[in-house]
Chains A and B, each alone.
Chain A
Amino acid sequence: MWIETLKRRSWILILFLPMCVACSENNSPAQLVNIFGSKGSGEGQFKYVEDFAFDGQGHVLITDALNANVQVFDLDGRYVTEFAGTGDKNQHLKKPEGIAIDASGNIHVADYLTGYIQKYSPGYEHLLTYSGFGPEPGHTLETEFMTFHPNGNLYVPEAGNSRISVFDAHGNFQFNFSHKGSKAGELLRPEAVKHNSKGLLYVADLGNHRIQVFDEGGTFLFTWGKEGKAPGEFRKPSGLAIDKDDNIYVAEIGNNRIQKFTEKGKFLYTFGKNGREPGEFGNIHGLAISPMGELYVADTANHRVQVFNVK
């Protein structure tokens, strides 16, 4: 009799197992809450989404490398306005990628192709052009996703020079650190630098498939990860985001997924995969945590932004 019961139960188990798996997938800690954008150069359209910056007015500013502009959306994903764009004037851009907002609310946009960093007022008026193209200190080559540190300095990763350059909010060069290499503390085409609440700098070391951590003075602290597909491993890490609890979100172009780690690099969970469906990614780039705590994802190949509620 009990064997019969067991048999029946095992059948039920087999029947419900896939459902449970499905349920567990639905119960992923990251919930897709918004999706916006389509391919093109019109309002609210993207050609190559790069990175995000949140201003103090409830807007998200998004750089588009191929439209060469910055588009402004409200936090519901509605298009507000845009600025910059191609041209030969000062305020114009060729291939903007990194974007950061200083304590005064001014917007700094780094141009990958020209090496210039443009500074705009909170009303999107051009204020200043600084840095320049080249390997010499104070100049930049192939700038990527940057961050304004609480110390008031802008930390700019340079893929071309494989280093981090530091400027103040007025565009004055301060110093740079690290150099091309694969040893600890060395970089290969860094794609992003972001800071946590303690002021530590996390760098997505794309070419070395790892995350490196420095202090604000550029001293190497620690690193984690190696090339691979397993949890805690990376293939071309690109975007970085750090939430208020100092958890790290890492996007990988090679795996088209997002991994979440503790500030010390302990793996928490992963989500997303290669594809065009909602929740799937292509050529994934910048990440950012909104003031609401939501994770913005630059789903570059799909020409859209996906917003997740990450617990």
Chain B
Amino acid sequence: MGNEGNRFMMSALDINNLSISNKFSLPSACYAVGLLVIVITMSIFYHSYRVNSELIIDLTEQKNILSKFRASVAGIDQDLVRLVYLYNQGREESVLANVETLAPMLVDFKALADKHDFINDRSLAEEIEPSIEELRKISLEIVGLNLDNMVASARDLYKYSFLVRAGQILNFADESLYGKSDQVMAIGLKIKQQEVIFIGSFMVEFIMIFIMIYILHHHMAKKLVDPIQQLQMATHTIVDHYSSQNTHQKYEDFFQRAIAILESITSRDEIGILTANFKAMIATIERATHDNISANKHLAKANTELISTQGQLVQSAKLASIGEISAGLAHELNQPLGAIMLSAQFATELMNEEAIDKESVSKKLQRIVAQVERASKIIQHLKVFSRKGEHTFEEVDINWVIEESFILVNETLKMNGIKLIVELAEKLPPVTCDFIQIEQVLTNLVTNARDALEQGQAKEMVVRSYAQKNAICIDVQDNGCGMSAAVIAKIFDPFFTTKAVGKGTGLGMSISYGIMQDHRGELRVSSIEGQGSCFTISLPIPVEKRQHTNI
């Protein structure tokens, strides 16, 4: 996999300009269009409903006008009959008033016809105008007549000409009314049909929009979720590899599988960027893993070497410490040997006497045996101490370890004129440790204290054991030369020594420190230059022992 293809893309995401949000623009547009369509449908319906309602109102109004028209004509007729035949004077004003209402009513009628472009009404109303004018003329004429001297036939003629005009006007009213009721009913029906159409189209639009938006959303979600799922899979592949410690499969296979999954993501939005970055990350992880593995191999090798070297070192240090106490050891061994020598000489002399005092000889021999046992014990301990190799952790009494270690170092302290004060706390809980290693540490500390006391006057060394918090501690304290802060700072460094060349390896303290760390314990030092030092080792008390001891 090429690094070029996996370049990491760092870009600040502008919340107002996200490719991913652009994906939502289509569904959003759909919402908007859907809303618009529904609003348009509703407004069309409302508009048409309003227009139709207005139409019905105006048609009704027209019918009312025409009814009034007829009423007016009938009123004139009645008045004229009374006027002409019954000499009912005083009807003139009523006739004139009624006559003058016709033209304004026609104007109203025409206005409504024009408003809705009722094409026939307007034309018919225009046609009737001359008849209305004729009616008016005749009515005025009759009203102005001197009826007293008029013969009946003349009256009939006037009345007849009025009736003809009135008939024409009533006929106009009939013709104009023609079809109006049908029209109103048709509009009513149309409104009902429109309602059905509206509800139908509204439902259809709603369902269509719903389906469209659902499909778009589904599509969108798929477009968004699919790459995320792929990403998840790729992540899983990598995580699986690390979590399962699946060592029999090559890590390259996992990476290649993850990359293959990522390659299948074609998104060009922020997820696309995320994927590219993810690829870059995987490439980086792979490189790091590769480096790690080779480094780990080196490290493992070095570690193995280190472990064996450390073992050798510990052994060397142990042997070196034996070397350091060898004078004391030699003296320690020499004493039983001297005693054996003397006892053997006494026994030989007793054997040469006449009367062999068997009891005395036996005492000497017993003393020899005792001394041999003593030497043998030392040698035996030395053997154990210097044994190389496997050490085992076991539960021991720390005071016993301290006493054991003094078998080897006791003599060297005596030789150097050091007064040893041992203060062992009683009833200490047992600790789990490799006692030979702890003994090595103690031997090392005691040897160091001995050396620190070399120039001293009242040479005193205190070794005490005690429990502190959750640990068992051993102090090795001297009143020797002490150490400066600079020395303390380096005391645990390997190859650091204040002793003369050839006298110390410089490894004792650092190895002791390592041993204590192996025991999850501590090695501390406090020292005042010119007054002495105190080294403390502490070993943790196993958790299960803590409750019992209650220290």
Contacts and interface: CB of A to CB of B under 8 A. Distances in A.
B178 A48 contact: no
A185 to B, nearest CB: 22
Interface string B47-69: 00000000000000000000000
Contact of B131 (A113, A274, A302): A113
Contacts of A256: 119-120
Contact of A134 (B117, B130, B160): B160
Nearest to A275: B119
A300 interface: yes
Given A160-B167, A189-B171, A301 B123 contact: yes
B126 interface: yes
Interface in A236-253: 236, 253
B119 A276 contact: yes
B518 interface: no
Interface class of chain B by DSSP: helix
Interface string A187-226: 0010000000000000000000000000000000000000
A94 B129 CA distance: 12
A47 B130 CA distance: 12
Interface string A257-298: 000000000000000001110000011000000000000000
B120 A301 contact: yes
Contacts of A163: none
18 contacts: A65-B127, A66-B127, A95-B130, A142-B168, A159-B171, A160-B167, A160-B168, A235-B179, A254-B178, A256-B120, A274-B119, A275-B119, A282-B119, A283-B119, A283-B122, A283-B123, A301-B120, A301-B122
A113 B124 CA distance: 15
Question: Lowest 4 CB-CB distances: which A-B pairs, in order?
Answer: A282-B119, A283-B123, A301-B123, A283-B120
A253 B122 CA distance: 13
A133 interface: yes
A300 B130 contact: no
B421 interface: no
Interface of B: 117, 119-120, 122-124, 126-127, 129-131, 134, 160-161, 164, 167-168, 171, 175, 178-179
Nearest to A229: B182
Given A236-B175, A253-B120, A48 B126 contact: yes
B324 to A, nearest CB: 104
B483 to A, nearest CB: 101
A285 to B, nearest CB: 9
Nearest to B122: A301
A113 B128 CA distance: 11
A47 B161 CA distance: 25
B160 A48 contact: no
Most buried by A among B123, B171, B179: B123
Contacts of A47: 126
A47 B126 CA distance: 8
A141 interface: yes
Nearest to B113: A301
B221 to A, nearest CB: 31
B177 to A, nearest CB: 12
A48 B171 CA distance: 18
Contact of A48 (B120, B123, B134, B164): B123
Contacts of B126: 47-48, 66
A141 B164 contact: yes
A55 B164 CA distance: 33
Contacts of B123: 48, 282-283, 300-301
Nearest to A253: B120
Contact of A113 (B130, B171, B179): B130
B527 to A, nearest CB: 101
Contacts of A236: 175, 178
Contacts of B168: 142, 160
Nearest to A302: B119
